[in-house]
Amino acid sequence: MDDEMEKEIISDNKEAEALQKKHLSMLDRLSKRQQSRSTSSTEPSTESTSSFLSRFSELKSSIESHLSDSQSVASDPSQLKPHLDKISESISDLEKLVAQSSYFLPSYDVRSSLKTVSDLKRSLENLSSELIPKKKFSFKNKASKKERDSVVPESKQSIAPVYNSVQPSYVARDSPGFRNKTGEVLVGEFKESEIGEFTISDLDSCEVRIIGCIRALFIHRLKDCRVYVGPVTGSILIEEAEGCVFAIASHQIRIHGARRSDFYLRVRSRPIVEDCNGVRFAPYCLSYGGIEEDLRGADLDAETGNWANVDDFRWLRAVQSPNWSILPENERVGILDISNSGTERCVFIIASHQIRIHGARRSDFYLRVRSRPKVEDCNGVRFTPYCLSYRGIEEDLRLADLDAETGNWANVDDFRWLHAVQSPNWSILPENERDGSVDISNSENMNEEV
Any domain includes 230: yes
Residue type (1 letter), 323 = N
pLDDT digits (tens, 9 = 90+) for 391-432: 999 999 999 999 999 999 999 998 877 777 788 889 999 998
Average the pLDDT over 137-157 and give the result: 42
Any domain includes 141: no
Model pLDDT, residue 100: 67
Rounded Cα gap, residues 194 and 295, in angstroms: 12
Q: 347 and 333 in one domain?
A: no
Domain that holds residue 201: 150-337
Q: 331 and 239 in one domain?
A: yes
Q: 383 and 263 in one domain?
A: no
| CATH assignment at residue 83 | 1.20.58.1250
Q: 311 and 206 in one domain?
A: yes
pLDDT band for position 255 (cuts 50, 70, 90): very high
Angle at 258 between CA 252 and CA 264, to 5 degrees: 50
* Domain end point (choices 311, 337, 363): 337
Any domain includes 33: no
Model pLDDT, residue 398: 94
* Domain end point (choices 70, 100, 132): 132
**CA–CA distances in Å: residue 127 to residues 79, 132, 167, 199:** 15, 8, 14, 21
Q: 316 and 282 in one domain?
A: yes
Any domain includes 5: no
Q: 352 and 327 in one domain?
A: no
Domain count, the chain: 3
Stronger pLDDT, 32 or 277, i.e. the higher one: 277
Q: 165 and 227 in one domain?
A: yes
Contact 247, 264 (CB under 8 A): yes
Stronger pLDDT, 416 or 360, i.e. the higher one: 360
Residue 26 has pLDDT above 60, yes or no: no
Q: 426 and 387 in one domain?
A: yes
Q: 223 and 96 in one domain?
A: no
Any domain includes 426: yes
Any domain includes 36: no
pLDDT, averaged across the chain = 79
Any domain includes 244: yes
Read off the pTM: 0.48
Q: 74 and 54 in one domain?
A: yes
Any domain includes 4: no
Identify the top-confidence range among 20-24, 60-64, 119-123: 60-64
| CATH assignment at residue 222 | 2.160.20.70
* Domain end point (choices 87, 104, 132): 132
pLDDT digits (tens, 9 = 90+) for 259-273: 999 999 999 999 999
DSSP 339: S
Classify 350 as helix, strand or coil.
strand
Classify 324 as helix, strand or coil.
strand
Identify the top-confidence range among 35-39, 194-198, 329-333: 329-333
Q: 330 and 224 in one domain?
A: yes
DSSP 306: G
Q: 162 and 269 in one domain?
A: yes
pLDDT band for position 447 (cuts 50, 70, 90): very low
